[in-house]
């Protein structure tokens, strides 16, 4: 298995384990690798350090939130030139996060401005900057993830990125509260080459989410276009390897093919992030 989305300490909020212990848990569980994600820190150096003494492939990346000034091409280039493999568009500082009342850095330190970011069609003024980010991701043949942008923004971003040569595009948990994208719309974006993520965090923590709903979403998108991730690391979630296994088992009990699910949690995410 290969977990494309896991959180570890250090972080601005409590996490179950640090980078090294998280990677060690994956190794003990027989995983082939993982991607460390932080909403407010580049995980490129952390991934290199945590993966140094293990055969696992441990990758890092950068989320374009306040700590780098939002959608910042210079920060993206620095990440990619250092070996980063995933660039997430705004997550905790996306405008959708604010609208939904979900946590952000200003929730931890209220004296900080509640700055948020958007892309076209919500904020047309960012179009050139987003295109610069896309060109950098395309040149590095890295993964561009949609973060917590809204559905209309994801549509614009996927079409724009594809047109600029980005070959690896991830719809970040499209069925989650943000962006709350219907499965049919996610399916249409996968027709353009994107893949759609479904996470254990949704199963365990998304209000109103059920195993039946996640299985229906996966069916509607198509398992050949879906990656399964844990998005774990919270103290009230299982250890990340167990969390991803739980998602596979849960969806299999809903009648989805276990072999296809294994690919969704292994071969497909690994191929998405692994350099050519």
CATH number at residue 194: 3.20.20.140
Q: Does pLDDT of 74 surpass 80?
A: yes
Q: How many domains does the chain have?
A: 1
**Contact by Cβ (8 Å): 154, 146:** yes
Q: What is the pLDDT of residue 104?
A: 80
CA dihedral of 96, 100, 105, 110, whole degrees rounded to 10: 120
Measuring CA to CA, which residue among 92, 86, 160, 148 is closest to residue 120? 160
* Helix, strand or coil, per DSSP, at residue 199: strand
* The two three-digit tokens of residue 91, written as one number: 């997550």
Q: What is the pLDDT of residue 98?
A: 86
Measuring CA to CA, which residue among 101, 75, 105 is closest to residue 93? 105
**Contact by Cβ (8 Å): 254, 177:** no
Domain boundaries, position 196 = 2-273
Q: What is the pLDDT of residue 114?
A: 87
DSSP one-letter code for 161: H
Read off the pLDDT band of 105 (50, 70, 90).
Answer: confident
| Statement: the pTM of the whole predicted model exceeds 0.85 | yes
Q: Does pLDDT of 21 surpass 80?
A: yes
Strands (E), 164-248: 168-171, 195-199, 226-229
Could you tell me the CA-to-CA distances from 246 to 80, 196, 203, 243, 263 in Å, in that order? 32, 19, 9, 5, 15
């Amino acid at each position: 298995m290969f977990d494309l989305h896991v959180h570890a300490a250090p972080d601005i909020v409590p996490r179950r384990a640090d980078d090294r212990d998280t990677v060690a848990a994956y190794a003990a569980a027989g995983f082939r690798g993982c991607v460390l994600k932080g909403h407010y820190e580049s995980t490129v150096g952390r991934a290199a350090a945590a993966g140094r003494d293990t055969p696992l492939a441990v990758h890092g990346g950068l989320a374009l939130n306040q700590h780098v000034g939002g959608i910042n091409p210079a920060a993206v280039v620095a990440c990619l030139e250092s070996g980063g493999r995933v660039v997430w568009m705004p997550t905790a500082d996306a405008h959708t996060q604010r609208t939904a009342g979900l946590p952000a850095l200003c929730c931890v330190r209220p004296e900080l401005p509640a700055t948020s970011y958007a892309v076209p069609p919500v904020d047309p003024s960012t179009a050139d900057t987003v295109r610069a980010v896309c060109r950098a991701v395309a040149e590095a043949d890295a993964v561009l993830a949609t973060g917590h942008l809204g559905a209309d923004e994801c549509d614009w971003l996927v079409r724009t990125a594809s047109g600029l040569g980005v070959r690896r595009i991830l719809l970040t948990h499209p069925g989650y509260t943000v962006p709350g994208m219907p499965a049919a719309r996610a399916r249409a974006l996968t027709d353009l080459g994107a893949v759609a993520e479904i996470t254990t965090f949704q199963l365990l923590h998304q209000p109103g989410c059920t195993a039946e709903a996640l299985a229906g979403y996966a069916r509607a998108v198509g398992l050949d276009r879906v990656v399964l991730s844990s998005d774990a690391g919270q103290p009230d979630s299982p250890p990340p390897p167990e969390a991803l296994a739980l998602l596979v088992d849960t969806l299999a009990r809903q009648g989805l093919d276990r072999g296809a699910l294994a690919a969704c949690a292994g071969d497909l995410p690994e191929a998405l992030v692994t350099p050519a």
